[in-house]
Chains A and B, each alone.
Chain A
C-alpha cells in the first residue's frame, strides 16, 4: 500500500517531464488558423477596400466643393481648411495597411507561378492604382520599400520622390496591363470583372491614361508618351467596362451607411456644385439631390418634406460653421441649415449605392483633353459628349428614380457642346461632375487642371498660409514618430508638411 502510494506520487510528479519539451513543436502550431489563402481572395479584399470612405467627405469632396458640413468636431477638416491629422491619415492608413500589405504578399506569391500570371498582373495594376491615390494625396511616399515589413523586415521604409513613384506606376501599369493574357487561366474568383481579362486590360490601360494625364503640367512630354501607350493598349469601351464596387447590405457603401445613420443631417451638397448643375440645367441634379423643404432640424428631414426637383435645390455655402451659417440661411430665406440640399440618402447616398472607381466616362473626358492637347487622335467634342452621356447613364444603377432618360441626356448634350477656346475648362469641369463623390480623383484632377473654377473656402481661421485651396494632406503623426528620419528627408525635399505644399506634379 505504502509503496504504491509512493510510486504513484513520483509518477504524478514526473509525468510529462521525462522529455522536457516533448510535443512542444506540435503544440505551438495553431490547429485552426490558416497559414495560406488563395491570393485572389486578398486581391478581392483590396478592391472592396478602395471604395471612397467617410473621410473622403471631410477632405476631398469638400475641397472640390461638392459636399460640405458646417459642423465642427473630430471631422473638422476642409470645411474649415483645417489640418486634422486624424482625418488626413485616412487614405494612408487604409491603403498601406490593407491594399499595399495584401498586394505585396499576393505579388510575391504569384510572381513565379505561370498559372497565376493573370492574377499577378491584376494585383500589380491594383497596387499601382493604390499607390497613385497615396502619392496624389501626400506627395512623396514610401514606394520601393513599402509593404515589406514581414517579407523583408523593412520596418521604416524610405520615401521615394513622387516623380520616381509616378515613373514606376506608369511602367507597372503599362507592363502589367500588357501582360494580361486571355489565353491564360482566368481568375474565376475575381469580384471586379469575373476574371474577364479583356476588361481588366481596358481597366489597366484606362488607369494608365489617368496616370499619364496627371503629369500634364509637370512633364507634358512624358504625359503625351504614355497617353499614346494607353490608347494603343486599349481603353474602356463602354459603361460595361467601369470599375465598380457593387455595395450590398453586407458591404454597405461607407458614405451611404454614414448618411443613413446618425450623421445624416450633417452633410449637405455644396453651393458651387448645386449652382453649376442648376445653371446648366443638368438633369443629374435631380438624381443626386434632395431638399427637405422647411426642415428646422435633422428630425424634420422626413420624406413628406422631400423635394427632388432641380429648381428648389439650394446648396450649402462653405465658409461658415453651424452657428455663423445663420447669416447665409437668412439670405436664402431658408428655415434653417437643415433646409439645404443634401445628397439623397435614398439613392446616390444610399446604403447599397455602387462606388464608381474608374469609369468609361472619365476615360472619355481624359481622352477629350488629350485630343485637345494633340497627344492623341480623335474628336474632342465627341469624346466630351460621350463622357457626359456615359456618366448620365451611370445613374440608372442607383435605381429607377435616379435614372436619366435618353431624351433628357440628348437634350443636355445638344445644349452643352464643347465650346472652342474653353475646352480645358469644360472638359475638366465635366470630369469634376463625372467624378462626383470619388474625392481622391476629382481633387487630383482639380489640382492638375485648375478646373472647375471655384471660389476658395473663406472660413475665417484657415490653417492655409499661402494657397487658397488645400494642395495636399499632411503626413500622419505616427510617421513623424516611428519613421522620423525618412519622413524628414521627404519634407526637406518636398517642402513643409502643411496643406499648402504642392506636390511634384502640381506645378504652379
Chain B
C-alpha cells in the first residue's frame, strides 16, 4: 500500500480561530485545578465556581474562559453538575441563577460573561481586546509564548499560577504576559488535547513553552472478554471498536449492516434478502469447513443467541421451497441502547469465552445509567428511504418468444424467454388468454415491480443517574416497508438497564431487553419459486401491467404464462404469505462485591429466551403445484412454533494489586451454559375450503416435534502481571466440558498467553519526539469448539411416516425409514484452533498519524466435516474429524489527521485486512483430496481442496483442445463441456476494508466511506439465467441468421462449421450444467456511505428552554458502485448466509440505495 503524506501544513487554520473567537477581556482566566478531590473536601458542600468550571472543562474536554472578577467569591453546590446533561445545559443551570451567561466560541470553547440584564449594574471593568500589558503590577512580570508541537502559537491557552486561582491566557499568537508573585512561582499551562505542563518561572522573563499533544493511547480503556475492563495499552491482541454514531446515525434494520467497511478484518455482508434479513459477519475470514463461522454475540458480558434463520441457514424448513430470510439474533437489538461495541478478533482475545468464540466475539455494552446526575430524556427519530437499484444491462432488440418466434396464439408459455423476434414498429404479441398487446421493449421491469421502501425508527430514552447508580429505560419502534409489495418488518423494543450500589461494597446491575419483532412476508430469494429470479428473467417485452391484470383466471388459479411452472407469476405470488413473530427477552443480573479495594467477587445470571412463531403458505392455484385429490384444493400451509432458551451462569473472583513497580491482576471464574430448543411444526397439504390456510382446514397433516439440549461447563482463570505500567504479560487457561461429545472427548483445556510492551513509555527519553505512542504486542492462544456438532449427532435415528399406506386387504400399514442422510459419528472430538498474532500500534506526530498493524496465523485442526460421500453407500455425507485449515492475514488500520483545528478537522481512516485461508488436510477418507460442501441452485459447486485456498468454486467448463480452442459437437454444433469439473478460484475475498474521510467544518460533520472487497470469484446464477433465457446482450450473436456457429473446432480438430439453433446453443449451459461462462471477479469498490450532521443546539437554547439539544444528520448508503466486475447485478445481491454456498450467486432482492435523516432531541 502506498504511503500517503499527511497534509500537515494547515495548523495555520488559526485563521478560523481568529474569525470565530475574539478574546474581549484583558484578564481572561481559565481555572486549572489539578487536585479536584481535595478542593471538594475543603469546601464541604459548596465549591468555588471557578473550580466547578474547571471540572466542567475536564468532563467535557472543553476550554472555558472567564474573568477572575466574574467568578470570584461565588460558591455553588457541586451537585448542580450533571454529567447526563450537555455542557451547555450545565452552564445554563449554573450560571443563570448567578446572573451570568456564556457565549459559545466554537465547538469546544466557551466564554463566561455577565448577563446583559445585570451588566449595567456590574462593577466589572472590561478591558481592550489585545492588550499585552496588564493593568496591575503584582510582582515580576513574565512574558512568553506557548507553542504546539509544530512551533505554532497556541491561542486561548490558560495559564495558572499554581496554588492560586490567578492566571491568564494566551492571545491569538500564543503570547502571554503575567505578573507572578515570586520567582519560585510555578506556572501551569493547560490546553485541550495537550499534556499539561508545569514550569518554574525562576529568573526567566521571556518563556518559550512547547506543549506535547496529550497521549490518549495511554489512558484508553477497552472492554475485554467477560466484560473485564482493561487499559488498552495492556492488551496483547487486536480489538476493534465502533462509535455508537456509526450505528445510530446510519440506520439499517439490522444494525450490523451499517458497519460494513468500518472495522479492519471484519467482513460484514447483507444478503440481498430484505432489510430484516441476516447480517453475515466473518472475522478474519472463515476458519472451519462448517457453514456457520459467525462470531459470538455477547451483550453485557453474557452470550445471546444468534441463530441464523436466513435462507438455507441453520434451521431447516418444511414445505415447498421457502427461502425467505427470517433474520438473525442481532436484529433484536436497538442500536440506540448500545453504549459501546468492541470486536475481539482473535483466539487470544476471546480465549476466555472458549468454545463458542473461535470466530471472534462481538461485545455489546448497553446503557445502564445516565452519564451524569439527574434525569434526562432523549428522543431519536430516524427515517430512511430505500430505493431498489437496477444493474441489469439486458438486450432489448429481440423480444419475448422462443426459437425466433414471438407469441401469437393465446396462452403462450414463453413468459421467461426472450428468444423471440426482432422488435419492429407496430408489431403485436398475443399474451394470456388472447390479449393483443404491442410487441415492444419493457425496459424498467425491476424498478416497476419493486417499490420504494422505508424504515422509520423512533426511540425515547429516559435516563437517570446519581451517586449510587441510575438507570436507562428506552422504548423504541421500528417500522419498515420492504421494496417487495406487502412485505415489511416491525420491531418494538423496551430496554432497561440499571446499576445500583447498595452498600459501599455491593453493586447490583442488570439489563433486560424485550423485543417484539414481526416480519411480514420476508421475500423469497435466490431460487426459482416466488423469488426475484422471476423478475430478473422476465421476457423483455412482457408488460408488467398485463402480467398483473391477467395473473389469475376466473377460478382464482394462476394463468399459464411460462412453461417453467415454478416461475410463478410475480403478482400471483403476492398471495404467498409468511408471518414471523418473535418475542424475545434477554438480559442478565450481576452482583459484584468488593471485599477490599483490590479483591472482588462477581456473580452473573443471564438468560436469552425467545418464542418464535411462524406460518407460511404455498398458495392454492399456482401452476407449479401438484393437483389435490378430488374435493380438495391444493396448497400448503406450515405452522411452526419454536422456543429457544439459553442460560448462562457465571462467577468471577478478581484481585488487582500493585507491588512496587509490579502490578498483578488475577481472575478465576466458571460458567455454565445450557441451551434448549423445542419446536412444534405442522405441515398441511391441500385444503377443504379454498383460501383458508389453517390446520383445521387441512386434508393431510404432518405434525412433528423437535427437541434438543446441550450444555457446556467451563472453568477458567487469567493472570496479568505488569511492570512499570509499560510491560504486560498475561495468560488465561480454560477448560470446557461439552455435553454433545463422547465422554472421552468432551473435556478440553486450552491456554493463551499475551504480552504487550509500550516502548514509547519504556524508552520515552530515547525516542524521537514524533513518536507519540508505540506498542508491540504478541499473543498465542488455543480454543476448542463443538459448534459443528449438533446434539445427538452420535446416533442414527429412525422416523415413521405420518401417513399409513393401505394394503390390498385395506389395512393401514406404517412406513418407516432412517432419518437423515448423514452418517453419524459417536467419536467426534472438539475442533481445535490455535492462533498466533503479533501487532504494532503507533501514534506519530502528535496523533496525526495512527497505525495499527496485526499479523495472525490461525490453525484450525480436527475440524468436523460433513463430507460428501458416494450416495451408493446410502448416505449423502458423513461427519469426520480430520479437517485442517490455516488462516493467515494482516490487518491494518491507518488514521491520519491531515488537518486538525478547532474549526476544521479532516480525519482519514483506512482499514484493510488481507486474509488467506488454505485447506491443509481433509483426511484420507475423501477422494481426490477434496470435498463438495455446497451446490448452486443453477450451476457450480463449492469445494474444499487440499492445498488450495478455502472455498473453491468448481463447475464444468467449456472443453478446449491443447491449443486452447473451444470444442463444439460435430453433430449439433453446441459447446462441449469438460469431462470433469474445473476449479475457478476461491469465493472468499482476500482483501476487505474501507476508507473513511470525515470532516468537521464549523460544527458541520461530513464523512464518506468507500469500502472494498477484493480478490474473490463468483459463479453468477443471475447471469446463467439471463444467458439461457436470451436476455444477455451476448446472446444476440446469431439471432439475425437464426443459427450460431461456435468459434472453435470439433473433436476431430477441424474448424467448427456446424450450425446450432440459437436458443439450443445458449440453453446448453443449463442442460450441460456449464458454469465457466458465468464465473466473474466478485470484487467491489463502493461509495458506501455519505453522512452529514449538524448540531443545532446553540440556536435552540434560548427560545425553547425545554429542549436541551438538537442534532440532525443525513445519511446516504450504497451511494454508488465505483467498480465491479459482474454484469447485470450488484455483487452483494446474494442470498445465503452459509459459508458453504458462498460465491454461488442466485438472484437476491435488488440492492437498495438508502437515504436517511436522523433527528436527535434531548430534553
Q: Point out residues on A near B: beta carbons under 8 Å.
A: 2, 5-6, 8-10, 12-17, 20-21, 23-25, 27-38, 41-42, 44-45, 48, 71-74, 76, 82-86, 92-93, 96-98, 100-102, 104-105, 141-142, 145-150, 153-157, 189-194, 244, 246, 248-252, 257-258, 260-263, 265-266, 296-300, 321-324, 336, 351-352, 460-463, 465, 476-486
Q: Point out residues on B near A: beta carbons under 8 Å.
A: 402-405, 409-413, 433, 505-506, 553, 559-560, 563-566, 591, 593, 601-603, 605, 622-627, 629, 632, 634, 649-652, 669-670, 672, 686, 699-700, 705-711, 713, 715, 735, 737-741, 743, 746-747, 791-792, 794-801, 803, 805-809, 811, 813-819, 821, 823-824, 867-876, 878, 925-928, 930-932, 941, 943, 969, 971-974, 980-981, 1060-1061, 1063-1064, 1067, 1070-1073
With A96-B874, A257-B626, A482-B927 already in contact, 5 other A-B pairs whose C-beta atoms are closer than 8 Å: A20-B713, A28-B740, A35-B796, A461-B969, A461-B974
Pick from B433, B699, B709, B806: contact of A27, CB under 8 Å: B709
Q: What distance in Å separates the Cβ of A278 from its nearest Cβ neighbour in chain B?
A: 28
Instruction: Assess the B622–A262 pair: CB atoms within 8 A.
Output: yes
Instruction: Assess the B803–A32 pair: CB atoms within 8 A.
Output: no
Instruction: Assess the A481–B928 pair: CB atoms within 8 A.
Output: yes
A-B contact pairs, 22 of them (CB 8 A): A2-B506, A16-B649, A21-B737, A21-B747, A34-B798, A36-B798, A37-B799, A97-B874, A147-B873, A150-B818, A155-B823, A191-B805, A191-B806, A191-B807, A248-B806, A250-B805, A261-B625, A322-B402, A322-B563, A352-B629, A483-B870, A483-B927
Of all chain B residues, the one with the shortest Cβ separation from A260 is: B627
Pick from B403, B705, B805: contact of A48, CB under 8 Å: B805
Instruction: Assess the A41–B873 pair: CB atoms within 8 A.
Output: no
Instruction: Assess the B403–A84 pair: CB atoms within 8 A.
Output: no
Instruction: Assess the A15–B560 pair: CB atoms within 8 A.
Output: no
Instruction: Assess the A194–B711 pair: CB atoms within 8 A.
Output: no
Please judge, given known A-B contacts A16-B672, A252-B629, whether A155 and B869 are in contact too, CB under 8 Å. yes
Instruction: Assess the B869–A105 pair: CB atoms within 8 A.
Output: no
Q: Give Cα A291 to B1071, complex, Å.
A: 31
Q: Give Cα A147 to B878, complex, Å.
A: 13
Q: What distance in Å separates the Cβ of B240 from its nearest Cβ neighbour in chain A?
A: 30
Q: Give Cα A74 to B733, complex, Å.
A: 56
Pick from A98, A154, A465: contact of B873, CB under 8 Å: A154
Q: What distance in Å separates the Cβ of A102 from its nearest Cβ neighbour in chain B?
A: 6
Instruction: Assess the B626–A191 pair: CB atoms within 8 A.
Output: no
Residue among A25, A250, A485 with the highest chain B CB neighbour number at 10 A: A250
Instruction: Assess the B651–A13 pair: CB atoms within 8 A.
Output: yes
Please judge, given known A-B contacts A261-B624, A482-B868, whether A45 and B815 are in contact too, CB under 8 Å. yes
Residues of B with C-beta under 8 A to A299 = 410-411, 433, 553, 559-560
Residues of A with C-beta under 8 A to B602 = 9
Residues of B with C-beta under 8 A to A156 = 869-870, 873, 927
Instruction: Assess the B670–A17 pair: CB atoms within 8 A.
Output: yes
Residues of A with C-beta under 8 A to B1071 = 72, 76, 82-84
Pick from B601, B705, B805, B927: contact of A44, CB under 8 Å: B805
Residues of A with C-beta under 8 A to B686 = 249
Q: Give Cα A265 to B623, complex, Å.
A: 11
Instruction: Assess the A478–B433 pair: CB atoms within 8 A.
Output: no
Instruction: Assess the A192–B807 pair: CB atoms within 8 A.
Output: yes
Instruction: Assess the A12–B874 pair: CB atoms within 8 A.
Output: no
Sorted nearest first, the 5 A-B pairs with minimum C-beta distance are A13-B651, A41-B816, A101-B874, A262-B565, A297-B411
Of all chain B residues, the one with the shortest Cβ separation from A26 is: B739
Residues of A with C-beta under 8 A to B746 = 21, 24
Instruction: Assess the B403–A323 pair: CB atoms within 8 A.
Output: yes
Residues of A with C-beta under 8 A to B971 = 461-462, 465
Instruction: Assess the B928–A261 pair: CB atoms within 8 A.
Output: no
Q: Give Cα A37 to B705, complex, Å.
A: 18
Residues of A with C-beta under 8 A to B809 = 194
Residues of B with C-beta under 8 A to A298 = 411, 413, 560
Instruction: Assess the B563–A266 pair: CB atoms within 8 A.
Output: yes
Q: Give Cα A171 to B799, complex, Å.
A: 32
Q: Give Cα A77 to B153, complex, Å.
A: 84
Instruction: Assess the B1067–A30 pair: CB atoms within 8 A.
Output: no
Instruction: Assess the A296–B816 pair: CB atoms within 8 A.
Output: no
Residues of B with C-beta under 8 A to A257 = 626-627
Instruction: Assess the B403–A324 pair: CB atoms within 8 A.
Output: yes
Q: What distance in Å separates the Cβ of A232 from its nearest Cβ neighbour in chain B?
A: 26
Q: What distance in Å separates the Cβ of B1126 from its nearest Cβ neighbour in chain A?
A: 24
Pick from A35, A86, A250: contact of B795, CB under 8 Å: A35
Instruction: Assess the B649–A44 pair: CB atoms within 8 A.
Output: no
Q: Give Cα A84 to B1069, complex, Å.
A: 11
Please judge, given known A-B contacts A194-B811, A461-B972, A480-B980, whether A85 and B1073 are in contact too, CB under 8 Å. yes
Of all chain A residues, the one with the shortest Cβ separation from B404 is: A323
Residue among B738, B801, B816, B868 with the highest chain A CB neighbour number at 10 A: B816
Residues of B with C-beta under 8 A to A265 = 560
Pick from B649, B930, B973: contact of A13, CB under 8 Å: B649
Q: What distance in Å separates the Cβ of B963 from its nearest Cβ neighbour in chain A?
A: 23
Q: Give Cα A10 to B669, complex, Å.
A: 10
Residues of A with C-beta under 8 A to B932 = 478, 481-482
Q: Give Cα A246 to B812, complex, Å.
A: 12
Instruction: Assess the A150–B670 pair: CB atoms within 8 A.
Output: no
Residues of A with C-beta under 8 A to B505 = 2
Pick from B792, B872, B1064: contact of A157, CB under 8 Å: B872
Q: What distance in Å separates the Cβ of A369 from its nearest Cβ neighbour in chain B?
A: 29
Instruction: Assess the A10–B601 pair: CB atoms within 8 A.
Output: yes
Q: Give Cα A244 to B819, complex, Å.
A: 26
Instruction: Assess the A142–B715 pair: CB atoms within 8 A.
Output: no
Pick from B629, B817, B867, B870: contact of A98, CB under 8 Å: B817
Instruction: Assess the A251–B1073 pair: CB atoms within 8 A.
Output: no
Of all chain A residues, the one with the shortest Cβ separation from B803 is: A250
Instruction: Assess the B817–A45 pair: CB atoms within 8 A.
Output: yes
Q: What distance in Å separates the Cβ of A473 from its nearest Cβ neighbour in chain B?
A: 14
Q: What distance in Å separates the Cβ of B1025 from its nearest Cβ neighbour in chain A?
A: 12
Q: Give Cα A145 to B433, complex, Å.
A: 56
Instruction: Assess the B715–A261 pair: CB atoms within 8 A.
Output: no
Q: Give Cα A33 to B795, complex, Å.
A: 10
Instruction: Assess the A461–B739 pair: CB atoms within 8 A.
Output: no
Instruction: Assess the A461–B1060 pair: CB atoms within 8 A.
Output: yes
Instruction: Assess the B874–A149 pair: CB atoms within 8 A.
Output: yes
Instruction: Assess the B709–A193 pair: CB atoms within 8 A.
Output: no
Please judge, given known A-B contacts A9-B602, A20-B737, A30-B791, whether A482 and B624 are in contact too, CB under 8 Å. no
Instruction: Assess the B813–A191 pair: CB atoms within 8 A.
Output: yes
Of all chain A residues, the one with the shortest Cβ separation from B868 is: A482
Of all chain A residues, the one with the shortest Cβ separation from B669 is: A13
Residues of A with C-beta under 8 A to B931 = 482
Residues of A with C-beta under 8 A to B1063 = 72
Residues of B with C-beta under 8 A to A37 = 798-800, 816-817
Please judge, given known A-B contacts A351-B629, A461-B972, whether A155 and B651 are in contact too, CB under 8 Å. no
Q: What distance in Å separates the Cβ of B26 from its nearest Cβ neighbour in chain A?
A: 59
Q: Give Cα A102 to B1071, complex, Å.
A: 32
Instruction: Assess the B651–A9 pair: CB atoms within 8 A.
Output: yes
Q: Give Cα A156 to B811, complex, Å.
A: 40
Q: Give Cα A248 to B685, complex, Å.
A: 14
Please judge, given known A-B contacts A16-B649, A149-B878, A323-B405, whether A482 and B603 are in contact too, CB under 8 Å. no
Instruction: Assess the A460–B1061 pair: CB atoms within 8 A.
Output: yes
Instruction: Assess the B875–A149 pair: CB atoms within 8 A.
Output: yes
Instruction: Assess the B797–A35 pair: CB atoms within 8 A.
Output: yes
Residues of B with C-beta under 8 A to A157 = 870, 872-873
Instruction: Assess the B629–A262 pair: CB atoms within 8 A.
Output: no
Please judge, given known A-B contacts A296-B410, A321-B403, whether A100 and B872 are in contact too, CB under 8 Å. yes
Q: Give Cα A28 to B708, complex, Å.
A: 9
Q: Give Cα A27 to B969, complex, Å.
A: 60
Q: Give Cα A257 to B626, complex, Å.
A: 5
Of all chain B residues, the one with the shortest Cβ separation from A352 is: B629
Q: Give Cα A148 to B873, complex, Å.
A: 5
Residues of B with C-beta under 8 A to A249 = 629, 632, 686, 699-700
Pick from A74, A193, A478: contact of B868, CB under 8 Å: A478
Please judge, given known A-B contacts A48-B815, A96-B871, A246-B806, whether A263 and B593 are in contact too, CB under 8 Å. no
